[in-house]
């Protein structure tokens, strides 16, 4: 069904480095019940220690920062994570504005004549992931509205049926 391929690019390693730059590792380590040095080692690609799956989940839950999960998914050549618990059908306008802002940031980075540093590339990728995340939330919110209205769901089903049968 799926053909996951591990990327040769160090997406997860880069995500670990970016995560350390953004987070208070000492505080997180204390909340996890481990020493900050152990956590730093686990997030350092040059060390032999690695995060366990459980630790990755705990860090993501504590920080609500998708950086590590997005890096892991990028390593598997998958799209970024979309936390559906953030979904609120009445926030479609806000999701649209956030997606547009993220796209603007990507466009600004793309047309920039400056040399793209690792940090600039990471910022662009964060904007891409944020845009995808918000566009996905828009789609889920609209899907929820359609499924929540039996009349609208029937109309969409009828149109889809006509479109499918008309193309055959």
pLDDT digits (tens, 9 = 90+) for 63-84: 989 999 999 998 988 888 888 8
CA angle, residues 137, 138, 141, in degrees to nearest 5: 85
Q: Count CB atoms within 10 A of the CB of residue 96.
A: 14
Mean pLDDT within 93-115:
89
Supply 39's token pair. 């956590």
**What distance in Å separates the CA atoms of residue 43 and residue 65, rounded to the nearest whole number?**
14
Parse the chain into domains and list their residue ranges. 11-75, 87-167
Handedness of CA 127, 133, 134, 139 (dihedral sign): positive
pLDDT value of residue 80: 86
Residue 21 pLDDT more than 80? yes
Whether 5 shows a pLDDT value over 80: the answer reads no
Q: What is the reported pTM? A: 0.69
């Amino acid at each position: 069904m799926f053909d996951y391929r591990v990327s040769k690019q160090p997406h997860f390693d880069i995500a670990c480095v970016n995560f350390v730059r953004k987070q208070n590792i000492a505080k997180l380590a204390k909340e996890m019940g481990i020493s900050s040095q152990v956590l730093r080692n686990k997030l350092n690609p040059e060390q032999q220690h690695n995060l366990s799956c459980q630790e990755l989940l705990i860090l993501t839950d504590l920080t609500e920062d998708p950086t590590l999960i997005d890096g892991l998914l990028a390593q598997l050549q998958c799209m970024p994570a979309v936390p559906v618990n953030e979904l609120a059908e009445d926030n479609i306008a806000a999701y649209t504005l956030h997606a547009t802002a993220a796209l603007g940031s990507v466009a600004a980075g793309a047309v920039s004549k400056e040399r793209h540093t690792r940090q600039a590339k990471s910022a662009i990728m964060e904007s891409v992931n944020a845009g995808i995340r918000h566009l996905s939330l828009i789609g889920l919110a609209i899907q929820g509205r359609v499924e929540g209205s039996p009349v609208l769901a029937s109309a969409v089903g009828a149109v889809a049926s006509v479109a499918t049968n008309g193309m055959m």
